[in-house]
Amino acid sequence: MNRIHYILALLTVLSVTACIDPFTPDIPPSDNRLVVIQGTIVSDSICPIWVSETNTDIFSDASANDGKTRQAGTSDPRLWVEGSDGSRYDGVRTNATAPDGRYTFMVSVGHLNPDETYCVRLDFHSESYQSVPARPEPTPGIESINWSQEPSDSLVSISVTAEAPVSGECFMEWKCVEDWEILANHPVYRYYDPAVGTIVPFDVDVSQGWKHAERLDPLIAASSRYPQNRVTDLLLYTISGRDDRISVIYSTHVIQRALSREEYEYIETEQKQTSGMGGIFTPMPGRLPTNIRCTTSSRKALGFVGVSLNVAHRRLYIEGREVEYERDYPCDEDILLSESMAECLTFWEEGYQNYLWLGGGNGKWMPNMCLDVRARGASLVRPDFWAY
């Protein structure tokens, strides 16, 4: 794997492990500018930390102030991670912002000492904020990731079993990064190009591609609720037997991270409040717990920053020949026959593409998504880690 691809893959994993989705809590009218800090400090990692503000009066366009969490104002914030051992890791603000306008800081964190405490500090709007200092939580390893398929409904279930914690109760979260290979129904080497009005050769292979998705909503569990204090056969998610994820080769990268009891309760409360309420920006009936404090005034702050000594990773592959898969769309039943060049253009405008050319405007056509994997959202670039 080259260096650029390695860095991109690392940032993807860390953003998945650290991200806590934003929300809009029930904010008293007097608190019209609340800073929100969210993220995770992880040992020996590049850690994304997000900073934003809730409903404020700093926008020139009042109509844009609709109660959602918005980008912080014009002041330039400074953020860093600080340890009780005197260590300091400065955050670098990136150009990228989240869809809701949050600032993103990347902090290159060194090795964390399990006997020391660490926190995020922020200077912003002439105020200083910090997360409650905490010792890094050690994450037990992943013993196994398993899958099964029920013949009755064809659902493929993905489950995880963690190793037992070293001592005491352990709170954990799981997030998953998915990649899967798909193939076109028919390999094609030429296609109809309306710009020239005839068939031309492909310069790339469009019959094979890879898709990517991230399951960012964390699944959480406490080891004390399982026999022998070990999370066993926890269902992560299911996949339909008609989903193209399992059509060829499917991969899930499971990321496991230990939480403090306070962070566990934060995520649990957030999930209970947002569940069934129409989205994460729906006004909440009450506040979430927070470990963010303003250290220079009585101003309140929101969010949570966890501290982890490590995260555990494991990847699972499922081959399509091992599962029962039913193609969602019957491409072989949707074939058109063209008999003129005028019909070729018409079919193309309707979303079809030629897969068998007989010349003189005569040919067979299928929906483009059946012939070109890019029409189904796939990339033609094989992932560097792909084992097949």
Distance of CA 353 to the CA centre of its chain: 33
State the pLDDT at residue 349. Answer: 96
Q: How many CB atoms lie within 10 A of CB 132?
A: 16
Residues 56, 62, 63, 64: what is their CA dihedral angle, to the nearest 10 degrees? Answer: -50
Q: How far apart are CA 115 and CA 111, in angstroms?
A: 12
State the pLDDT at residue 287. Answer: 63
State the pLDDT at residue 270. Answer: 85
Class of domain 3-137+277-310 as given by CATH: mainly beta
State the pLDDT at residue 150. Answer: 85
Q: How far apart are CA 95 and CA 93, in angstroms?
A: 7
- Could you tell me if 34 and 53 are in contact, meaning their C-beta atoms sit under 8 angstroms apart? yes
Burial of 296 from C-beta contacts in 10 A (0-12 / 13-18 / 19+): exposed
> pTM for the full model?
0.81
Burial of 200 from C-beta contacts in 10 A (0-12 / 13-18 / 19+): exposed
For the chain, 388 residues long, give each residue's pLDDT as a single digit of tens.
444 443 344 445 455 554 434 444 444 444 567 899 999 999 999 999 999 887 643 322 333 334 444 444 445 789 999 999 999 999 999 875 555 667 899 999 999 999 999 999 999 888 999 999 999 999 999 999 999 998 877 899 999 999 998 888 999 999 999 999 999 988 899 999 999 999 999 999 999 999 999 998 889 999 999 999 999 999 999 999 999 999 999 999 999 999 999 999 999 988 888 775 544 444 443 467 899 999 999 998 999 999 999 999 999 999 999 999 988 778 888 999 999 999 999 999 999 999 999 999 999 999 999 999 999 999 999 999 998 8
Residue type at position 380 = L
- Could you tell me if 248 and 181 are in contact, meaning their C-beta atoms sit under 8 angstroms apart? yes
Distance of CA 2 to the CA centre of its chain: 23
Kindly list the domain boundaries of the chain, sorted by start residue: 3-137+277-310
Nearest to 44 by CA among 311, 260, 258: 311
State the pLDDT at residue 313. Answer: 96
Q: How many CB atoms lie within 10 A of CB 358?
A: 12
CA dist list (Å): 359 to 190, 198, 199, 355: 13, 10, 9, 12
Please list, residue by residue across 82-94, b when 16 or more beta carbons sit within 10 angstroms of its beta carbon and e when fewer do. Answer: bbeeeeebebebe
pLDDT tens across 4-38, in order?
443 344 445 455 554 434 444 444 444 567 899 99
Pairing of strands 45-53, 78-83: unpaired
